[in-house]
């Protein structure tokens, strides 16, 4: 493969786009990577080796897919844009360890795809350059489905990556940080300049690595309730925890009830959501859940 002209160069990408008269669809958030070194760094950070199975989302014209096929055992790639299927058949011709799936990842049965394409003992990773407009729904679907995977390494908008990896008492910390870190250890592993994309995006990019936790870091009585209460605590960031919860529980609990529950778990209602750790949010959610169950 050493002499092969890789897809991820400006020249080769332009050749492919011109050959197929392909135009970018803004609605699909298409920005193709044109730097092989960046792709190599992503694959290294993801921990991909020749035994690994990889799931890619949105392969585009195959720049990352090609590099994954070289470094991994086998790859499945979900592509929603039908116009790209014949292009991918062409650009990835010669790689027999890639299975292209024409499907929206948000509607896909990923468990079934894993069972059909990978060995039970295989380490499976998700690696993708995600469409920025739909990053969060995709990642939350993948995490909440509790797939048998080791990690998720994705190129996403820098600001969103910062939010997902944020710690308490930072301006980026919020309900998204807690949702992602409930399932994973989140780490921003690299920043990527706009110039390595075609076309150049309007925002800066980062690569985020999510390493799946064996078990959640906190015990919650009801996961859905926990996530809902966390979102409520951040509904208006400038408001105190007590004010946000009073607003959310309107019609269920009066202020006195909310004060009593907060006091019972030792959480000061005058604090803001961004100051609470995940452990404190778990105590909060469990206390409100039990109280609501007993009303």
List the beta bridge partners of residue 209.
153, 187
Q: Is 62 annotated as a binding residue?
A: no
Neighbours of 15 (CB within 10 A): 13
Q: Is 79 annotated as a binding residue?
A: yes
Q: Is 104 annotated as a binding residue?
A: yes
Radius of gyration of the chain (CA): 22
Q: Is 58 annotated as a binding residue?
A: yes
DSSP 233-257: HTSSTTS-HHHHHHHHTTTT--HHH
- Do the beta carbons of residue 130 and residue 58 sit within 8 Å? yes
Torsion of CA 214, 52, 131, 158, to 10 degrees: 60
Torsion of CA 71, 74, 76, 81, to 10 degrees: 50
Q: Is 49 annotated as a binding residue?
A: no
Tokens 């509904």 sit on residue: 235
CA distances from 160 to 130, 179, 277, 279 (A): 12, 13, 19, 23
Q: Residues annotated as binding site for S-adenosyl-L-methionine? A: 31, 33, 58, 79, 104, 129
Q: Residues annotated as binding site? A: 31, 33, 58, 79, 104, 129
């Amino acid at each position: 493969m050493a002499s092969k002209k890789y897809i991820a160069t400006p020249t080769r990408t332009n050749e492919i786009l011109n050959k197929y008269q392909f135009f970018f669809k803004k609605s699909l958030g298409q920005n193709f990577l044109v730097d092989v070194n960046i792709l190599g760094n992503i694959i290294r950070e993801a921990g991909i080796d020749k035994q690994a199975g990889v799931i890619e989302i949105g392969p585009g014209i195959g720049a990352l897919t090609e590099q994954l096929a070289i470094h991994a055992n086998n790859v499945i790639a979900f592509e929603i844009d039908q116009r790209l299927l014949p292009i991918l058949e062409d650009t990835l011709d010669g790689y027999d360890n890639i299975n292209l799936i024409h499907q929206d990842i948000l509607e896909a049965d990923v468990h079934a795809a894993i069972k059909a394409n990978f060995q039970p003992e295989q380490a499976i990773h998700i690696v993708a350059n995600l469409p920025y407009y739909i990053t969060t729904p995709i990642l939350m679907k993948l995490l909440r489905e509790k797939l048998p995977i080791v990690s998720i390494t994705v190129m996403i908008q820098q600001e969103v990556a910062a939010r997902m990896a944020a710690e308490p008492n930072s301006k980026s910390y919020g309900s998204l940080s807690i949702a992602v870190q409930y399932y994973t250890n989140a780490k921003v592993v690299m920043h990527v300049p706009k110039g390595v994309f075609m076309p150049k995006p309007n925002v800066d990019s980062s690569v985020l690595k999510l390493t799946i936790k064996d078990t959640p870091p906190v015990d919650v009585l009801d996961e859905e309730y926990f996530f809902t209460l966390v979102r409520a605590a951040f509904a208006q960031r400038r408001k105190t925890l007590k004010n946000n919860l009073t607003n959310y529980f309107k019609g269920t609990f009066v202020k006195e009830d909310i004060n009593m529950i907060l006091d019972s778990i030792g959480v000061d209602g005058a604090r803001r959501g961004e100051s609470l750790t995940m452990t404190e949010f778990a105590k909060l959610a469990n206390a409100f859940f039990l109280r609501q169950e007993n009303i």
